[in-house]
Amino acid sequence: MKRYMPEPYRIKSVEPLKILSRKEREEAIKRAGYNTFLLRSKEVYIDLLTDSGTNAMSDNQWAGLMLGDEAYAGSESFFHLEEAVRDVFGFHYVVPTHQGRGAENLLSQILIKPGNYIPSNMYFTTTRAHMELNGGIFVDVIIDEAHDPTRSDVLFKGNVDLDKYEALINKVGAEKIPYICVAVTVNMAGGQPVSMENLKQVYELSKKHGIRVIFDATRCVENAYFIKSREKGYEDRTIKEILREMFSYADGCTMSGKKDCIVNIGGFLALNDEELYRKACSLVVVYEGMPTYGGMSGRDMEAMARGIYEALDYNYIKHRVEQVRYLGEQLAEAGIPIVQPIGGHAVFIDARRFLSHLVQDQLPAQALAAAIYVDSGVRTMERGIVSAGRDKDGKNRYPKLELVRLTIPRRVYTYAHLDYVADSIISLYQNKNAITGLKWVYEPPVLRFFTSRFEPI
């Protein structure tokens, strides 16, 4: 019998789930153009599309909603949020935004000039889109092993390759690099963490050349958990102590609160540099709102301030990451190819190997996500050629990783739900040869994965 850690919470409010018949699911995915983003939520049984904004808030956070201060200017809830960010992340200036990409927009506009280079440990879709919209050139400087789903021996697969980074500095010159973006953890690599040692080395190299270090802090608590459980010398440190040290190696961060701040909406840009903060404030009023609410309501800032502290609880984060591992291990034990090691927020199925009879142009990950939905009502997400988009010249990018992401929302599903997911995918794997590829019917110009439509070949 499988053993697992009991949920470190009990359930006070429930949301009933329904599953459609197989025939209804077949109709639904056809109507959605074989794109799981275009399904309606009521057509989904277990929703593993994303861990973004899908969190269950605590009773304490819901209570905070009632106490939210909705003043247009100088909201008390803003000051609670600012205090929490100063205390946990160590940055002095905080600009709230409606979500992570709002902060990415501000940062990219302030720092990037056309022709600049922005190195990063692999890309994230919206982060790279903002860099490119501002004329920046994204350069992937993650270690090679991150592109190999079989390298289970590499415990910090999100690490920056210092040689690649230094080679870029030598090639283009530090003055052309406004900042390095370091994601903790790396979503597109499979939720892989960055080690403290690497963060420190990246910071030292950057400072030597006068380059800013900006973290994409979206899943930083999961990263801290991996440091605590995998990196020598951190076993006895608290999650908060680890976070403080991590962020001491950065000049600022963008944050999607919809992940590790355990809320449904919100984000922020945090900085130490006063001049940059002033510039961010003059932009935030144009794009989001007054600097004391940005894109958020008072109640949402209150819930986020509380979520930041709840996420520091060791039992919370241990249960969260261990749930993901539990699902991943069941799939791996049944021989299903997944990205190893299992990451912090999701299990990533290697669609190239799952559907080895398809070539990448037949969109194996998109086809597999659609097939999983039809088979079980479980909604997952493509993270492969469709998500990677086209380059400047209009050519398709061919990412090495062609993945389907099973993303676990925080505090939402139980181990029994995960057993259902695992059993369904294991039985689908036994009939994998019946799954056919897909072809495009409609493709939008940017962030195409959200609204593209397909049909079976």
Beta strands in 113-231 (DSSP E): 117-120, 137-140, 179-183, 212-216
**What minimum distance in Å lies between the beta carbon of 346 and ligand F0G?**
8
Is 216 a known active-site residue?
yes
The candidate with the shortest Cα–Cα distance to 388, out of 380, 400, 379, 405, is 400
Q: Return the ∠ at Cα 76 (arms to 73 and 79), rounded to 5°.
A: 95
Is 124 a known active-site residue?
yes
**What minimum distance in Å lies between the beta carbon of 442 and ligand F0G?**
21
Instruction: Pick the closer one to ligand F0G by CB: 47 or 161.
Output: 47
Tokens 């160590």 belong to residue: 90
**What minimum distance in Å lies between the beta carbon of 255 and ligand F0G?**
8
Is 247 a known active-site residue?
no
Out of 4, 9, 72, 442, pick the active-site residue: 72
Q: Return the ∠ at Cα 389 (arms to 385 and 392), rounded to 5°.
A: 135
Is 259 a known active-site residue?
yes
Is 127 a known active-site residue?
no
Instruction: Pick the closer one to ligand F0G by CB: 304 or 358.
Output: 304
Is 449 a known active-site residue?
yes
Q: Angle at which helices 125-133 and 100-111 pack, to 10 degrees?
A: 30
How many angstroms separate the first and last alpha carbons of the chain? 42
For the chain, helix, strand, coil in percent to 5 are 45, 15, 40
The rounded distance, in Å, linking the Cα atoms of 84 and 78 is 10
Instruction: Pick the closer one to ligand F0G by CB: 358 or 387.
Output: 387
**What minimum distance in Å lies between the beta carbon of 149 and ligand F0G?**
18
In contact, 211 and 179? CB cutoff 8 Å: yes
On the 0-12 / 13-18 / 19+ scale of CB atoms within 10 A, 175 is exposed
**What minimum distance in Å lies between the beta carbon of 151 and ligand F0G?**
21
Residues at the interface with ligand F0G (CB under 6 A): 50, 52, 99-101, 124, 126-127, 183, 187, 216, 218, 256, 258, 267
Out of 320, 352, 383, 411, pick the active-site residue: 383
Beta strands in 36-163 (DSSP E): 46-47, 93-97, 117-120, 137-140
Instruction: Pick the closer one to ligand F0G by CB: 126 or 229.
Output: 126
Out of 51, 216, 251, 260, pick the active-site residue: 216
Out of 50, 125, 127, 218, pick the active-site residue: 125
Out of 78, 268, 449, 454, pick the active-site residue: 449
Instruction: Pick the closer one to ligand F0G by CB: 382 or 437.
Output: 382
State the residue number with the nearest CB to ligand F0G: 100
Active site residues: 72, 124-125, 216, 259, 383, 449
